Amino acid sequence: MADIIRLLPDHVANQIAAGEVVQRPASVVKELLENAIDSQAVDIKLIVKDGGKSLIQVVDNGIGMTDTDARLSFERHATSKIQKAEDLFNLHTKGFRGEALASIAAIAHVEMSTRTADDEVGTQIKIEGSKITSQEMAVVPKGTSMLVKNLFFNIPARRKFLKSDQVEFRHIADEFHRVALAHPQISFCFYNNGSELFNLPSTDFRKRIVHIFGRKANEKLVPIQEDTQVVKITGYIQKPEFAKKSRGEQFFFANNRFIKSPYLHHAILGAFDGLIKQGMHPGYFIHLEVDPSTIDINIHPTKTEVKFDDEHTLYAYIKSTIKHSLGQFNVVPALDFEQDLNLDTPYDFKNKEASTPTVSVNATFNPFQETTSSGKVQQRTYTKPSTKGWENIYEGLTVNPLVDRSSTFEMESEVINSTIFDNEKHQTETITTTFQLRKKYIITTIKSGMVVINQSRAHQRVLYEKFLKNITIKEAVSQQLLFPLSLSFTKGELAILEEIKENLTAVGFVFGIMENEMVEVKGVPVVVVESEVQMVMEQLISDFQMEISHNSFSQSDMLAKTLAKTLSVKTGEILDEVSQVSLVNDLFACKETTLSPFNKPTYITITENDIDRKFI
């Protein structure tokens, strides 16, 4: 039998490694930014075009590389960070495996320009798909410039699975935020399609948070700090009233490296237990400093999932630290036993002894005597009023005792509360009989039996088709607000609102000024309550941050789904009989009645035969 096992060519091995390291343009941004930080740079620039598909460039003013190091940096497992296996448990740098540049060069056009402080001229290398096309000396500034163009140019199947430019850009922005927050002492600049998005100066951690997430973020923050033998915890948490339904501003950093840890996230939720509603997520920016030997960051290619030696202790420390900060800064409710100054003893009476009160009684007092103006005492007399002619008060009244006058009484009618549906639908009460079960289901009868309707899913279907129709024909009814609302958003959230503004206007929203992290809302759809506008906007932004292709159809579809889900009747809400009947009629007037917008059944049918079988 012939030998069948053989070594893979280097370019094939590099492409396989690229599948693990480079999942999308944001992966390239992460690796290049971390290399720039490891080069001891204090000023880093990030430039992207077309969501990183056409161009990604990172420029730093670090120590740079010699021509030999520049060439070796593109070889697999070539690194200056570690020399032996034990070094993996004493890491103080970002990268250490030596796979990033080799993987990126295997699937893109890469151009590197670098120079050290000791060299007068630098080195410029161009690589296309792992093949070096040129290496020459060049006059370049100190530091390194990495330029990556045409990502996945030689793997068209992989490029096809990339999302739209907007979605890929948001992933890049997320990676930029994580790196910039982890290193506030480094200044960062971020350019997208030629326009400057961020210009972050070197500062402290709190100011870096405010620079990224806007001025409003400052009032939300509560500092936390705890130093133990196991871990040093520093950072900020957001006040409970600013918790959101979606996960957004939640960052864990372990030894200045962004990590994801559902277990530690649960500790934070436990600390906020009782302060936020079910399903809400608090924001936090927490740094953990632990001994490098107690953390393994090499369990996943992206290095965002880590393993701690003693996670249970970290869990307890984080939970108690956050609870302490919430109480220390009077964020949680507390009993107030402060002394009221108004109840203090006045200074004039402080050293005086209390005197026993005395009661004096006039034993000669006679209530039937009165004193005249001359001072003489005389007996008080009383005259009985006359009752003569008392019967005259009934003159002119003729009362027949046999007549029952109770029929002339008018009883006050009970006030009927208005409903969310039109009065025209009151006539359906005599036709359809419904009742609500467990504040969750609406039950109505049909010829063959009865129908059990999930009120929340049914209302979602009704609103979904209504919003989708309004977006299509662009004839939605809007109610103008007497006083326009001013809502605060970050630059990234503002970019998303700009993107979906046209479809929001078609639904019924009316916008004013949208700049300087502020959005002015002048009108809302009829079904949207003014107090819910902020919540609806945040939910829309959260959904559009997910990995969904944003062509015109899917954007409209997603907008309609989000609005329907946010504004629909929820489980636990009581509906009067008119609203129940109207919801039933509206559901069966829809084009699709059996499924909600999220492909879940809206109702079930129980036939008379099904009931009869239960009695056999």
Mapped to the 3 state alphabet, what secondary structure does 148-160 carry? EECCCCCCHHHHH
> Cα separation of 462 and 211, whole Å?
42
Q: What is the mean pLDDT of residues 503-511?
A: 88
Instruction: Please tell me which residue, 98 or 314, carries the higher pLDDT value.
Output: 314
Mean pLDDT computed over every residue of the chain: 82
Q: Which two tokens stand for residue 125?
A: 């290398």
Q: Quick check: 115 and 121 in contact, CB under 8 A?
A: yes
| Cβ count near 232 (within 10 Å) | 14
Q: Which two tokens stand for residue 275?
A: 């302060």
What domains are defined for the chain?
10-202 (3.30.565.10), 212-328 (3.30.230.10), 427-605 (3.30.1370.100)
Q: Quick check: 264 and 312 in contact, CB under 8 A?
A: no
Q: Which residues pair with 437 in a beta bridge?
A: 441
- Where residue 347 falls among pLDDT bands split at 50, 70, 90? low
Q: What percent of the chain has pLDDT over 90?
A: 36
Sheet containing strand 434-437, edge to edge, reads: 434-437, 441-446, 449-454, 603-607
Q: pLDDT tens-digit profile of 386-437? A: 677 777 776 666 555 555 554 554 545 444 444 444 444 444 444 568 889 9
pLDDT for the residue 428: 40
| Residue 511 pLDDT greater than 80, yes or no | yes
| Cβ count near 175 (within 10 Å) | 21
Return the amino acid letter for 236: Y
| Residue 322 pLDDT greater than 90, yes or no | yes
pLDDT for the residue 371: 64
DSSP string, 102-147: HHHHHSSEEEEEEE-SS-SSEEEEEEETTEEEEEEEE---SEEEEE
Instruction: Please tell me which residue, 471 or 341, carries the higher pLDDT value.
Output: 471
Q: Which two tokens stand for residue 59?
A: 């420029």
Closest CA to 549 of 165, 258, 291: 165
- Counting Cα atoms < 13 Å in the Cβ hemisphere of 216 gives 10
| Residue 328 pLDDT greater than 90, yes or no | no
Q: Is the dihedral of CA 500, 506, 509, 511 positive or negative?
A: positive
Return the amino acid letter for 137: M
Q: How many Å from the N-terminal Cα to the C-terminal Cα in the chain?
A: 70
pLDDT for the residue 341: 57
Q: How far is CA 423 from CA 300, 444, 479, 579, 589, in A?
A: 61, 20, 20, 10, 18
Instruction: Please tell me which residue, 28 or 337, carries the higher pLDDT value.
Output: 28
Q: pLDDT tens-digit profile of 240-290? A: 988 887 777 899 999 998 998 889 999 999 999 888 888 888 999 999 999
Closest CA to 233 of 323, 356, 160: 323
| Residue 367 pLDDT greater than 60, yes or no | yes
In the chain, % helix, strand, coil (3-state, to 5) comes to 35, 25, 40
Q: DSSP code of 281? A: B
The C-alpha angle with vertex 22 and arms to 18 and 28, in degrees rounded to 5, equals: 125
Closest CA to 107 of 143, 158, 141: 158
DSSP string, 253-279: EETTEEE--HHHHHHHHHHTBTTB-TT
> Cα separation of 177 and 46, whole Å?
12
pLDDT for the residue 424: 46
Q: pLDDT tens-digit profile of 529-572? A: 888 888 888 888 877 776 554 444 577 888 888 889 888 998 88
Q: pLDDT tens-digit profile of 77-117? A: 777 666 666 656 666 676 666 678 888 988 899 999 999 99
Q: Which two tokens stand for residue 74?
A: 């593109």
Torsion from C-alpha of 4, 6, 9, 14, nearest 10 degrees: 100
> Cα separation of 562 and 403, whole Å?
67
| Residue 479 pLDDT greater than 80, yes or no | yes
pLDDT for the residue 365: 77
Closest CA to 162 of 556, 547, 499: 547
Instruction: Please tell me which residue, 240 or 492, carries the higher pLDDT value.
Output: 240
Q: What is the mean pLDDT of residues 474-481?
A: 81
| Residue 61 pLDDT greater than 70, yes or no | yes
Q: What is the pTM of this model?
A: 0.70
Instruction: Please tell me which residue, 222 or 20, carries the higher pLDDT value.
Output: 222
Instruction: Please tell me which residue, 368 or 579, carries the higher pLDDT value.
Output: 579
pLDDT for the residue 455: 94
- Number of H helices and E strands in the chain, helices first, is 15, 24
| Residue 156 pLDDT greater than 70, yes or no | yes
pLDDT for the residue 595: 93
pLDDT for the residue 414: 47
